[in-house]
Amino acid sequence: MVASIEKEFQERFGRKPLVIAAPGRVNLIGEHTDYNKGFVLPGAVDKRIYVAIAKNDSSEVTVFARQFAQSISFPVSAKEPMEGWINYLIGVTYYLQQTGTPITGVDVLIDGDIPVGAGMSSSAALCSGYGFALNELFGLDFSRMELAVIGQQTEHNFAGVKCGIMDQFASLHGKKNHVMKLDCRSMEFEYIPFDFPGYKIVLVNTMVSHSLAGSEYNVRRAQCEEGVALLKKYYPEIQSLRDVSYEQLTRHWQEFNAVVYDRCTYIVNENQRLLAGCDALRNNDLPGFGEMMYASHKGLSKRYGVSCKELDYLVDIAKTAPGIAGARMMGGGFGGCTINIVEEKSIDSFVDFMQESYKLHFSVIPEVYVMQLEDGVKEVVSGK
Ligand code: GLA
């Protein structure tokens, strides 16, 4: 892919580009906990967005998206969102200049193999890759964490999704064969090896695009904030659901709106599950980790209300599939993929079983991706 991107850039823009690869992410456990200042356990993967870039002599950013065969330009000084995917680039260009030096025009070519709308964070990868590319090209000196925050601000204010920091963080900080336990309150993180010998991470795509996710996502966030506001009256030190214990929550259940109570209960439990999950991972306790994945899914579906019938079906049938250790929905929800931990030697029969069952039920063949944990955003050169 890199060689053909370099070639097309050269043909289109007549210069050699800098090429940056920005991975998508998986998350083993800890869903919707990031914007509640809790923990997440993501890793960067071997599906990527590529950003090829070179300075031009204008004050315009000219972008060609190969996947959509679409070309769009905007001035580097643009402050307002436009329509569609170009907003990610407008936003990053804008925020990079808010704290750094102004930049001049660039030519950009984008391509990639992260399935769009599948919950593998193609938009976060785009922001991370493009931000990293500008940072390199203009010597701007932003840290990877600062670039992650710029991607998150872009998502908030140019795409309208009040997301947490997990996806941008994961794309920028990934490490081969490792996941990262990120504390979204202190922003400290540690690498933990994904060390279940003979097992692989396998994603099964519902093929339902999670386009509704944006509005419902923001509703969940508001419901969590409502819970925090209620509990703060009794415990002024509480800043987020991360600071809330199960005892504090249950003591006040009668004062809660039932839906908000369910949302908060899920988050408080999921944080605990993640901590237990990290212990299971460190102790190579695969059955224990698998149980936590199923419990996480149940919470996301029944209490947090972000699953859908297709995701529930995939998790249900995975429980009886060959070689399975654990499964749950992954990411924001309302479609996208389930994440499964599957015995390597059973992967072929797992895939057949999942695809045939799902097709019988929903008349669609789900795509399946066997994932490799990889390094975060970096420069790539063809032939290396
Ligand atoms: C989306 C968001 C993340 C996170 C997940 C759910 O991927 O971008 O910040 O909240 O959903 O865990």
Determine whether the shortest distance from the Cβ of 31 to ligand 1 is under 6 A.
yes
DSSP assignment of 293-312:
HHHHHHIIIIIS----HHHH
CA 153 to mean position of chain CA atoms: 15
> Which of the four pLDDT bands, split at 50, 70 and 90, describes residue 211?
low
From 56-65, 208-217, 316-325, 336-345, the region with the lowest mean pLDDT: 208-217
Whether 118 shows a pLDDT value over 60: the answer reads: yes
- Strand, helix or coil at 279? helix
Question: Which segments of the chain belong to CATH 3.30.70.890?
Answer: 201-371
CA dihedral sign of residues 260, 261, 262, 265: positive
Determine whether the shortest distance from the Cβ of 32 to ligand 1 is under 6 A.
yes
pLDDT at res. 282:
94
Determine whether the shortest distance from the Cβ of 130 to ligand 1 is under 6 A.
no
pLDDT at res. 186:
98
> Which of the four pLDDT bands, split at 50, 70 and 90, describes residue 213?
low
Question: Which segments of the chain belong to CATH 3.30.230.10?
Answer: 2-194+374-379
∠ CA 73-75-77, rounded to 5°: 150
Neighbours of 150 (CB within 10 A): 27
Determine whether the shortest distance from the Cβ of 30 to ligand 1 is under 6 A.
no
pLDDT at res. 382:
87
pLDDT at res. 153:
97
Summarised one tens digit per residue, pLDDT across range 146-175 is: 999 999 999 999 999 999 999 999 999 999
User: Which amino acid residue places its CA nearest to atom 8 of ligand 1?
Assistant: 163
**Cα atoms found within 13 Å of the Cα of residue 82, Cβ hemisphere only:** 12
Cα separation, 43 vs 179, whole angstroms = 4
Cα separation, 179 vs 170, whole angstroms = 9
Q: How many Å lie between the centroid of ligand 1 and the Cα of residue 120? A: 10
Single out the residue of 182, 155, 171 nearest to residue 34, CA to CA.
Answer: 182
The whole-model pTM stands at 0.97
Summarised one tens digit per residue, pLDDT across range 67-82 is: 999 999 999 999 999 9
Q: How many Å lie between the centroid of ligand 1 and the Cα of residue 50? A: 22
* Architecture of the domain defined by 2-194+374-379: 2-Layer Sandwich (3.30)
Cα separation, 47 vs 372, whole angstroms = 9
> Which of the four pLDDT bands, split at 50, 70 and 90, describes residue 25?
very high
User: Which amino acid residue places its CA nearest to atom 9 of ligand 1?
Assistant: 164
Task: Compute the mean pLDDT over every residue in the chain, rounded to the nearest whole number.
Answer: 96
Single out the residue of 71, 42, 59, 53 nearest to residue 167, CA to CA.
Answer: 42
Of ligand 1's atoms, which has the minimum distance to the CA of residue 165?
9
Q: How many Å lie between the centroid of ligand 1 and the Cα of residue 166? A: 6
Of ligand 1's atoms, which has the minimum distance to the CA of residue 33?
12
Of ligand 1's atoms, which has the minimum distance to the CA of residue 124?
8
Tell me the catalytic residues.
167
Contacts of 359 (CB under 8 A, 6+ apart): 365, 366
Pocket test for ligand 1, best of 28, 32, 121 (most atoms within 8 A of CB): 32
Superfamily of domain 201-371: GHMP kinase, C-terminal domain (3.30.70.890)
User: Which amino acid residue places its CA nearest to atom 1 of ligand 1?
Assistant: 332
pLDDT (average), residues 300-311: 97
